[in-house]
């Protein structure tokens, strides 16, 4: 798919997105609930083709009558829009200010249909943000926040207590229990306080575990034992009561000792009376060594069973030899689909973040020389087979239209001529679900079968509607985030705080299979 096609379609879709958001957040604009739109059933096709033929539209929308396009590439709709249509909260990417002068790269970062949440790849880490004690530097991280703000994208905030990227004062001071506790509390109070209301979530503690499930011998652990974990969560909750608080780690995807240890951390935090809302699965995977979709879903469920949400927070799937062959690319596509599909299959998995969307800026080659090509887009910013596979997965599940099926009636959105399904033609002011065409939908509902020839609604209704997620309602609990929008995971959210007793024992009793697999990524 040519990038020009991608950008063209993304542009067309841009003003429709807020309607989708408003509906899913229980806004007043739509009468179509997320559930009714997202009656996703059946297994998505694993086909890597996402192109669909379309008949010409009866649309009077000039955007469409001027187009001679007879094929819509579902992949071009944008991952976030497709993810939202499946009931996820977001599909996003890591980025940071060192890349902001690459305009071609930024054009895709800035496309909210593609990425609905940004994560500062480095600028919120301890070293850049508090390089010397009590000296806070927010310039770069503020720029990432501002960018997300102006794009009406959410922000995942990353990260607070982590053994890497620490300033010298943290690693060299002869701490006592009291002084290190105070240093952690001061850091978190200032950083989380600075971004209060801006962060969907914070990775409060990152990578506290070794791959065998024991605790990493960090400066924090050496001085405070495991207490540094609840100390951090308590401080974060105090500084921003609405940000979701995550434990984040890698190689916990394999249902091994490290997975069990991560579950144990949840109990540890809660027993201390602190709030933890989610666990982030970084998802730094290797082609051919990624759990199956079902295995991934089963691991997620171990966490969601503890009244937690989960997310894939740093997804990439690296090739072990370069350049990748066609077969390697196909394997990578399968692996991406396993990860994203696992998330889709689990109530309480709220979204996916790519750890850089393009090979142009992936951290992998410098850390693991000879490996790479791990991202959804190549170095030329062209979507790879993995991108097409993920987009097809999301589109197929949202619409019930198998990838490659014929779609008729682009004038009213992606209507289902081939397979029935969700019925995308409805919606009060712009369609629903993946009906993201910028044309407003007919108020009439679509059965989801046959082409939707609905007349065009007013485009004006989609303009300038701030999405609930953008204005910060995502943190509101209870109630501001519709339960449906997070697959029920946060219904009654906020009650996690203090719900220690129920989770503590469960977390430790989850036996590990000690498969020992994984380990694809380590320091």
As annotated, the active-site residues are: 207, 314
**Residue 363 lies near ligand 9MR (rule: CB under 6 A):** yes
Burial class (CB in 10 A: 0-12, 13-18, 19+), 480: middle
Nearer to ligand 9MR, 281 or 336 (CB): 281
Pick 211 or 314: Cβ nearer ligand 9MR: 314
CA 225 to CA 246: how far, in whole Å?
A: 19
Whole-angstrom distance, CA of residue 336 vs CA of residue 79: 13
Q: Does position 122 bind ligand 9MR by CB under 6 A? A: yes
| CB closer to ligand 9MR, 339 vs 414 | 339
Question: DSSP label at 382?
Answer: P
Q: How far is the CB of 314 from ligand 9MR (least distance, A)?
A: 5
Least distance to ligand 9MR from the beta carbon of 469, Å?
23
H-only helix segments in 305-457: 326-344, 364-367, 385-399
237-240 contacts at long range (C-beta below 8 A, 24 or more positions apart)? 237/274, 237/275, 237/497, 238/189, 239/188, 239/189, 239/191, 239/192, 239/193, 239/196, 240/192, 240/193, 240/195, 240/196, 240/197, 240/199, 240/202, 240/475
Q: How many CA atoms lie within 13 A of 189 on its CB side?
A: 8
100 binds ligand 9MR (CB under 6 A): no
CB atoms within 10 A of CB 323: 10
Q: Which is nearer to ligand 9MR, 121 or 309 (CB)?
A: 121
Question: What minimum distance in Å lies between the beta carbon of 316 and ligand 9MR?
Answer: 9
The least distance separating ligand 9MR from the CB of residue 15, rounded to whole angstroms, comes to 33
Q: Which of 45, 54, 282, 462 binds ligand 9MR (CB under 6 A)?
A: 282
Choice between 200 and 470, CB closer to ligand 9MR: 200
Among 133, 164, 179, 444, binds ligand 9MR (CB under 6 A): 164
CB of 122 to ligand 9MR, least distance (A): 5
Which of 8/100 has CB closer to ligand 9MR? 100
Assess 469 for contact with ligand 9MR (CB under 6 A): no
Q: Does 121 bind ligand 9MR (CB under 6 A)?
A: yes
What angle is formed at CA 90 by the lines to CA 88 and CA 93, rounded to 5 degrees? Answer: 145
Rounded Cα gap, residues 18 and 29, in angstroms = 10
Reported as half-sphere exposure (CB side, CA atoms, 13 A), residue 62 has a value of 1
Distance of alpha carbon 74 from alpha carbon 357, whole angstroms: 18
CB of 107 to ligand 9MR, least distance (A): 21
Counting contacts by CB under 6 A, is residue 165 touching ligand 9MR? Answer: yes
Helix (H, G, I), strand (E, B) or coil at 522: coil
Nearer to ligand 9MR among residue 252 and residue 308 (C-beta): 252
Minimum distance from residue 375 beta carbon to ligand 9MR (Å): 12
Using CB under 6 A as the binding rule, whether residue 50 contacts ligand 9MR is answered as no
Closer by beta carbon to ligand 9MR, 121 or else 255: 121
Residue 69 burial (CB count, 10 A) = 16
Q: How many CB atoms lie within 10 A of CB 295?
A: 17
Residues contacting ligand 9MR: total by CB under 6 A: 8
Site string for ligand 9MR, 168-207 (x = CB under 6 A): --------------------------------------x-
Q: Rounded distance, CA 427 to CA 23, Å? A: 9
Site residues for ligand 9MR, window 128-147 (CB under 6 A)?
none
Position closest to ligand 9MR via CB: 363
Q: Is 286 in the site for ligand 9MR (CB under 6 A)?
A: no
Instruction: Tell me the CA distances in angstroms from 174 to 125, 220, 294, one per residue in order.
Output: 21, 12, 47
User: Residue 156 Cβ, how far from ligand 9MR at the closest point, in Å?
Assistant: 11
- Give me the residues paired with residue 156 across strands: 201
**Cβ 112 to ligand 9MR, closest distance in Å?**
22
Residue with Cβ nearer ligand 9MR (219 or 330) = 219
Indicate whether 455 belongs to the interface with ligand 9MR (CB under 6 A).
no
Find the binding residues for ligand 9MR in span 299-338 (CB under 6 A).
Answer: 314
Helical axes 293-304 vs 257-271, angle rounded to 10°: 20
CA distance 244 to 341: 23
Could you tell me if 399 and 433 are in contact, meaning their C-beta atoms sit under 8 angstroms apart?
yes
Residues in contact with ligand 9MR by the rule CB under 6 A? 121-122, 164-165, 206, 282, 314, 363
């Amino acid at each position: 798919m040519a990038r020009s096609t991608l950008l063209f379609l993304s542009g067309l879709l841009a003003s429709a997105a807020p309607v989708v958001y408003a509906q899913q957040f229980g806004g007043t604009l739509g009468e179509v609930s997320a559930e009714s739109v997202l009656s996703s059933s059946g297994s998505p096709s694993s086909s890597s083709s996402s192109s669909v033929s379309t008949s010409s539209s009866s649309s009077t929308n000039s955007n469409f009558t001027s187009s001679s396009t007879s094929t819509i590439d579902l992949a071009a709709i944008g991952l976030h829009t497709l993810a939202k249509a499946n009931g996820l909260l977001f599909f996003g990417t890591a980025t940071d200010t060192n890349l902001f002068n690459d305009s071609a790269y930024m054009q895709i970062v800035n496309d909210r249909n593609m990425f609905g949440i940004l994560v500062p790849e480095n600028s919120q880490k301890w070293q850049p943000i508090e390089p010397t004690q009590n000296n806070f530097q927010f310039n770069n991280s503020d720029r990432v926040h501002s960018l997300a703000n102006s794009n009406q994208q959410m922000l995942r905030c990353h990260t607070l207590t982590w053994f890497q990227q620490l300033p010298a004062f943290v690693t060299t001071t002869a701490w006592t229990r009291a002084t290190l506790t105070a240093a952690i509390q001061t850091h978190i109070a200032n950083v989380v306080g600075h971004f209060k209301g801006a962060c969907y979530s914070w990775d409060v503690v990152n990578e506290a575990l070794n791959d065998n499930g024991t605790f990493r011998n960090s400066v924090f652990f050496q001085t405070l034992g495991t207490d540094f974990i609840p100390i951090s969560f308590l401080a974060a909750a105090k500084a921003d009561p609405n940000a979701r608080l995550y434990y984040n780690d890698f190689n916990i995807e394999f249902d091994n000792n490290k997975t069990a240890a991560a579950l144990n951390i949840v109990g540890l935090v809660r027993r201390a009376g602190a709030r933890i809302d989610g666990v982030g699965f970084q998802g730094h995977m290797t082609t051919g060594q990624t759990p199956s979709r079902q295995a991934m879903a089963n691991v997620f469920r171990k966490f969601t069973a503890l009244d937690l949400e989960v997310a894939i927070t740093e997804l990439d799937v690296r090739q072990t030899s370069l350049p990748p062959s066609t077969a390697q690319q196909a394997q990578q596509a399968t692996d991406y689909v396993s990860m994203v599909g696992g998330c889709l299959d689990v109530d309480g998995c709220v979204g996916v973040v790519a750890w850089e969307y393009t090979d142009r800026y992936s951290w992998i080659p410098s850390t693991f020389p000879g490996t790479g090509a791990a991202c959804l887009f190549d170095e030329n910013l062209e979507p790879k087979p993995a991108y097409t596979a993920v987009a097809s997965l999301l589109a197929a599940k949202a619409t019930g239209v198998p990838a490659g099926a014929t779609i008729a009636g682009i004038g009213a959105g992606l209507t289902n001529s081939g397979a029935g399904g969700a019925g995308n033609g409805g919606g009060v002011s712009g369609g629903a679900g993946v009906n993201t065409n910028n044309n407003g939908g007919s108020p009439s509902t679509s059965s989801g079968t046959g082409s939707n020839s609905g007349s065009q609604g007013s485009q004006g209704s989609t303009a300038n509607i701030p999405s609930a997620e953008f204005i910060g309602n995502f943190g509101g609990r209870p109630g501001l985030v519709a339960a449906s929008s997070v697959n029920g995971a946060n219904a009654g959210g906020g009650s996690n705080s203090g719900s220690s007793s129920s989770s503590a024992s469960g977390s430790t009793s989850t036996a590990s299979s000690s498969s020992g697999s994984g380990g694809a990524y380590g320091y």
